[in-house]
Amino acid sequence: MTDINAYQGPAEAGFGDYVALLKPRVMSLVVFTAFVGLWIAPVPMNPFVAFCSILFIALGGGASGALNMWYDADIDAVMKRTAGRPVPSGLVPKGDALALGIALSGLSVMMLGLAANWFAAGFLAFTIFFYAVVYTIWLKRSTPQNIVIGGAAGAFPPMIGWACATGGIGIESLLMFALIFFWTPPHFWALALFMNNDYTNAGVPMLPVTHGRKVTRRHIFGYTLVLTPFAIWLGFTSVGGGVYLAVSAVLNALFIAGGWQILRRSDEQSRADNHKVEKRYFRLSLYYLFLHFLALLVQHWVGAW
């Protein structure tokens, strides 16, 4: 095929490229955890209103994703994992990402307020602000604890879901927050242990880059130990029960064992088997969170305490 271009015009983005700005994979986690928070709350909701609430929470999450891609276009271009995103690849202009992010933020917050209640809407607005401004603009490039604080943004969705149904906060929703909040650092640090070069090139201060990999291994194990009591505690609240406690006990035992293995390994051993243990721990962490929330759903279905 012959294709002659006199000059390379600006690339034209398709609809999918704008959808990619909203980070659909992150959105799926937001949808799932927000749904669980809303569904297991003690106040029943009209199913259609519940569906709309989840949709607007997801849209708010997508909006913060677009704002993140607007601000982080420079470092996304350097990292292999993110170089193909719509803004660094030149498909979508930076300004478009900013405009889409701001417009969807406003829309999602207003619509959540109208669909559910204004407390939940304010909570969503705060979450978007926290992810886009506190995490992306302020902390991501300035401290190796960026993951810890950024994790809070990812931990808010079940609380927002709970707030949609109840109009407030409960110990159960705070513990769901803690579950994601303390899960995030070991999850991302395990990833950073085998994706180190990406972050080094981009100059993002990840813990393995700034404090070394040995410290990172200690931190992973430490956070695993902090996480466990909160996960178990959730099983003794009004949303917990036998099913949840059984699932949680198994997952936490596996998670601590994995963290212990990571702690005991040296970097030479890790490189020798191509980070096998770290990769396994990372995969386990994905199941850990998913199965905890699935267990909460099942527990609600069979009846909590």
Partner 1 sequence: MVMLPQVEHELHKRRRSRNLGLLVVLLAFVALVFGLSIAKITSGDMMEGYDHQPRASILPKDPNPPARTAPVAAPGTPAAEAMSQQPGASQ
The nearest distance, CB 52 to partner 1, in angstroms, is: 6
Q: Count Cα atoms within 13 angstroms, Cβ side, for 286.
A: 10
The nearest distance, CB 33 to partner 1, in angstroms, is: 22
The nearest distance, CB 68 to partner 1, in angstroms, is: 21
Q: Which amino acid is at 198?
A: D
C-beta of 49 vs 77, nearer to partner 1: 49
Q: Which amino acid is at 65?
A: G
Question: How many CB atoms are located within 10 Å of the residue 4 CB?
Answer: 4
Q: Is the dihedral of CA 97, 100, 102, 108 positive or negative?
A: negative
C-beta of 7 vs 15, nearer to partner 1: 15
Extract the tokens encoding 145. Answer: 């604890």
Footprint of partner 1 on this chain (CB under 8 A)? Answer: 9, 12-16, 18-19, 46, 48-49, 52, 55, 114-115
C-beta of 165 vs 251, nearer to partner 1: 165
C-beta of 10 vs 303, nearer to partner 1: 10
CA distance 290 to 174: 18
The nearest distance, CB 45 to partner 1, in angstroms, is: 10
Helix (H) or strand (E) holding 151: helix 146-166
The nearest distance, CB 17 to partner 1, in angstroms, is: 8
| C-alpha distances out from residue 93 to 82, 88, 221, Å | 16, 9, 41
Total length of the chain = 305
C-beta of 56 vs 255, nearer to partner 1: 56
Question: How many CB atoms are located within 10 Å of the residue 239 CB?
Answer: 26
Q: Which amino acid is at 162?
A: W
The nearest distance, CB 40 to partner 1, in angstroms, is: 21
Residue with the two structure tokens 């880059």: 209
Contact 219, 257 (CB under 8 A): no
The nearest distance, CB 46 to partner 1, in angstroms, is: 5
C-beta of 114 vs 250, nearer to partner 1: 114
Helix (H) or strand (E) holding 224: helix 213-234
The nearest distance, CB 8 to partner 1, in angstroms, is: 12
CA torsion 65-53-291-166 (nearest 10°) is 120
C-beta of 46 vs 266, nearer to partner 1: 46
C-beta of 46 vs 238, nearer to partner 1: 46
